[in-house]
Amino acid sequence: MKKNIVLLILCFVTVIGWSQDVVTQIKGKVLNASNNVALENVHVVNLNSVIGTLTNHEGEFTIKAAVNDTLYFSYLGFKSIRVRVTNDWLKFGEIKIKMTELSIALEEVVVKPVQLTGYVEVDAKLIPIYDDHRYRIAGIGGGYEGGKSQPGAVSKVLNSIFNPADFLYNMFGKRPHQMKKLRKMKDDDEIRNLLQSKYDRETLMAVLQLEKIDIDEILNNCSYSENFIKTANDLQILDAISDCYEEYRVLNRGRE
């Protein structure tokens, strides 16, 4: 009798564990928390499987997910949120997700135009020159970037290639699971479209489980210029980190 009870419990636990790993299509609807108006074109990303989708004109979305997966919702002018997929969600079907608007106070920006005189010799000295360069060594990925703020850019590139920084080892070597998501992000069109329109690094931080300071430090150690780090959109940052990671893997096979 006791053996039968134990077998029954084991079967029950097995069924529960299996059901939590089952990937299925889940539905939801995203609304503005202040007035319950449907939000269209909200980006929804499954942080576990690294796939994305958009809400339609009625705020509805469908995405593949399993129980305990985390969905990341991002929309311009609204606070990004994370929602855990539960058994109740699968049981009751469509769930309403409410997003809160952000109060953004834009600071005054003074744009100083370049005053041209009409004389080539004079104007050539007035026009600002952005001396950011991208260095590439044959056989080593896409290259490295340096700028006028980095007078030793070439030597820094060589040092970073032949003597990889301990920081990169600690950042990449201890996060193999998160780094594997880089390729998945690059292969998903919806996620690429999302990153191309963003500059806040929020989605990258959520998927890769990194802080913004970590992302900046990775790019800095990979010899990207300060101008690139400040002005690149999130898709460009993703590609830059991905290139750096692939080069890191090649150069650190022995160390790993």
Give the model's pLDDT for residue 138: 41
Give 83's strand partners: 71
Question: Which residues of the chain form CATH 2.60.40.1120?
Answer: 2-99
Range with lowest mean pLDDT among 27-31, 61-65, 155-159: 155-159
pLDDT at residue 150 greater than cutoff 50: no
**Which long-range contacts link 173-176 to residues 24+ away (Cβ below 8 Å)?**
173/252, 173/255, 173/256, 175/208, 175/209
For 8-46, what is each residue's pLDDT tens digit? 545 444 444 444 468 899 999 999 999 999 999 999 999
> Tokens 């931080």 correspond to what residue?
205
Given the structure tokens 């529960």, which residue do they identify?
16
Whose CA is closest to 43, among 54, 31, 32? 54
Q: Which of 164, 152, 158 is nearest to 221 (CA)?
A: 164
Could you tell me which of 125, 121, 142 has the C-alpha nearest to residue 223?
142
Average pLDDT over residues 74-102: 90
Beta-strand ranges (E) seen in 37-114 are: 43-46, 51-54, 60-65, 70-74, 81-84, 95-99
Provide the CATH topology of domain 2-99. Immunoglobulin-like (2.60.40)
pLDDT of 152 > 60? The answer is: no
pLDDT digits (tens, 9 = 90+) for 107-146: 454 555 556 666 555 555 555 555 555 544 444 444 545 4
Q: Which segment, 93-97, 215-219, 235-239, 251-255, is predicted with the most confidence on average? A: 235-239
221 by DSSP, 3-state: which? helix
For residue 135, list its beta bridge partners.
Answer: 144
Place of tokens 């990004």: 80
Q: Give Cα separations from 66 to 16, 177, 181, 203, 252 (angstroms).
A: 12, 18, 17, 20, 35
| Average pLDDT value for the chain | 75
Question: Can you say whether the dihedral through the CA atoms of 205, 167, 218, 213 is positive or negative?
Answer: positive
Lowest mean pLDDT among 2-6, 74-78, 193-197, 216-220: 2-6
Residue 7: is its pLDDT beyond 70? no
